[in-house]
Amino acid sequence: MLPVTSRRHFSLSLYMLRSSSPHIHRHSSSFLVPSFVSSTFSPVLERRSSSPPPPPPMAACIDTCRTGKPPPQISPRDSSSSHGDDSGFRYINYFRSSGYPDRASFNGTQTRTLHTRPLVEDLDRDAEIDDVWSKIREEAKSDIEREPIVSGYYHASIVSQRSLEAALANTLSVKLSNLNLPSNTLFDLFSGVLHDNPEIVESVKQDLLAVKERDPACISYVHCFLHFKGFLACQAHRIAHELWTQDRKILALLIQNRVSEAFAVDFHPGAKIGTGILLDHATAIVIGETAVVGNNVSILHNVTLGGTGKQCGDRHPKIGDGVLIGAGTCILGNITIGEGARIGAGSVVLKDVPPRTTAVGNPARLLGGKDNPKTHDKIPGLTMDQTSHISEWSDYVI
């Protein structure tokens, strides 16, 4: 048997020989690096990778409760972020590399978007979106310093990952796996979908910013990325929806089932979901097959976007941009909730709701009456304001 030092040098030489050989697939799932190599010779491995230059500083969080400034209005944009990593390796079941090409530009086209923000704020927010992955890594390293007990978990989930999509595929595969559905199988599936659909990755970034800006309970991006089941359920749905559109319905329905079991959130993979989505708490949210949810929508827990019977075809609600749906709300049937509308908690909505109006009650009624409903200028899906429409509490006392 060779001495320990000799074995280490032999293993490192073998690793570097295999990495440099053009006949060996560098991203093979069977390619493992011993832990002592990754720890002892990490500077060597880092020099061999083609990591992009460090991004510019992250823009400050603009949550109202922490800065005193109103949240921005969101408009569509074109952006790209370079992730030219073409190297890396697996570490057991969690340390995986991405090897993804540059991200393509993304344009939201699902519904009309509200254009109310100055161009300067648009540019600042674009920079923050492109910088999300760097910010997540910085926060993860800071959390490890503060709580060393989470170092193994954070290293496997964030620090060792080569890109946002690799980290997302890893996190979802671990959380949705079971004894009969290995995490490696799900990781390969999720990675393939994210690699082929860079617009999903852009939507992930938009959702991260939405949660950070609108939910005061979100203390960091990494906190949301790893622990917010509403965010994770939404990203799993994006992957399932892509599989559904490719007529890979068996896999799409399988993901729906696992998301329902793991997160208590039930999105049919046929439902169309926009960007900048906040699912606050998320427990017991149900969205039907033909439902459409626009951009910058905020939905609280125990909300149902459902049908009214057993009829087939287009039978579920259509939610416009910037809508806020309060907890415990049921919106039933093929009806339209106009952009910027607000639905009060516990409401049962069975008819169309005009844009920028408020509907409350069971059955829901428009504030101010259906002939001359009161309208508002702000976007509830961004402000998260659920009570400003109440002039006197006695209005709601029987």
> What is the tens place of the pLDDT at every residue in 140-188?
999 999 999 999 999 999 999 999 999 999 999 999 999 999 999 999 9
Shared-domain flag, residues 283 and 175: no
pLDDT at res. 36: 42
pTM for the full predicted model: 0.69
Two tokens at 39?
């720890």
Residues 241, 308, single domain; the answer is no
Domain shared by 328 and 380, yes or no: yes
Q: How many CB atoms lie within 10 A of CB 17?
A: 10
**Start-to-end CA span in the chain (Å):** 86
Q: Which pLDDT value is given to residue 47?
A: 44
Q: CATH number of the domain at 129, please.
A: 1.10.3130.10
Given pLDDT bands bounded at 50, 70 and 90, which one contains residue 77?
A: very low
SS3 23: coil
Asked whether residue 136 is assigned to any structural domain, the reply reads yes
Please check whether residue 95 lies inside any domain of the structure.
no
Statement to judge: residues 255 and 321 lie in one domain: no
Strand positions, DSSP E, the chain: 266-267, 272-273, 278-280, 286-287, 292-293, 298-300, 304-306, 318-319, 324-325, 330-332, 336-337, 342-343, 348-349, 358-360, 365-366
Would you state the pLDDT for residue 370?
86
Query: What is the phi/psi pair of residue 181, to 5°?
Result: -135, 85
The answer to the question of residue 139 being in a domain is yes
Q: Containing domain of residue 349, as a range? A: 271-389
Please answer whether residues 32 and 19 qualify as being in contact, where contact means their C-beta atoms are separated by less than 8 angstroms: no
- Note the pLDDT of residue 289: 97
HSE of 108 in the Cβ direction (CA atoms, 13 Å)? 26
Tally of structural domains, the chain: 2
Q: What is the CATH number of the domain that holds 291?
A: 2.160.10.10
Residues 297 and 227 in one domain: no
Cα torsion 217, 359, 293, 119: sign: negative
Short-list 350, 322, 319, CA closest to 337: 319
In this structure, the answer to whether residues 208 and 307 fall within a common structural domain is no
Which of 211, 207, 212 lies closest to 234 in space, CA to CA? 207
**End position of a domain, from candidates 264, 280, 308:** 264
- Domain identity same for 127 and 239: yes
Last residue of a domain, one of 224, 244, 264: 264
Q: Which residues contact 341 (CB under 8 A, 6 or more apart)?
A: 320, 323, 324, 353, 354, 355, 356, 357, 358, 359, 380
Q: Is residue 204 part of a domain?
A: yes
Same domain, 295 and 348: yes
For residues 183-211, average pLDDT: 97
Does residue 109 lie within any of the structural domains?
no
Q: Do the bridges between strand 365-366 and strand 358-360 make them parallel or antiparallel, or are there none, so unpaired?
A: antiparallel
* Same-domain check for residues 222 and 291: no
Residue 210's closest CA among 299, 288, 142? 299
Q: Are 302 and 208 members of one domain?
A: no
Residue with the larger pLDDT of the pair 337 and 385: 337
pLDDT above 60 (res 389): yes
Taking only the tens place, the pLDDT of each residue in 20-52 is: 444 444 444 444 444 444 444 444 444 444 445
Please give the pLDDT value at position 395: 56
| Among the listed residues 300, 291, 281, 301, the one whose alpha carbon sits nearest the alpha carbon of residue 237 | 291
Is 43 part of a structural domain of the chain?
Answer: no
CB atoms within 10 A of CB 155: 17
| Same domain, residue pair 135 and 153 | yes
Residues 130 and 257 in one domain: yes
Q: Taking Cα atoms as reference points, which of 206, 191, 344, 347 lies closest to residue 273? A: 206
Query: What residues pair up with 305 in beta bridges, in sequence order?
Result: 287, 331
Domain boundary residue among 238, 264, 290? Answer: 264
Please report whether residue 42 resides in a domain: no
The reported pLDDT for the residue numbered 122 is 58
Question: Higher-confidence residue: 374 or 17?
Answer: 374
207 within a domain of the structure (yes/no): yes
For the segment 1-18, the average pLDDT, to the nearest whole number, is 49
The Cα-based distances of 164 to 92, 93, 345, 346 in angstroms read 19, 17, 34, 36
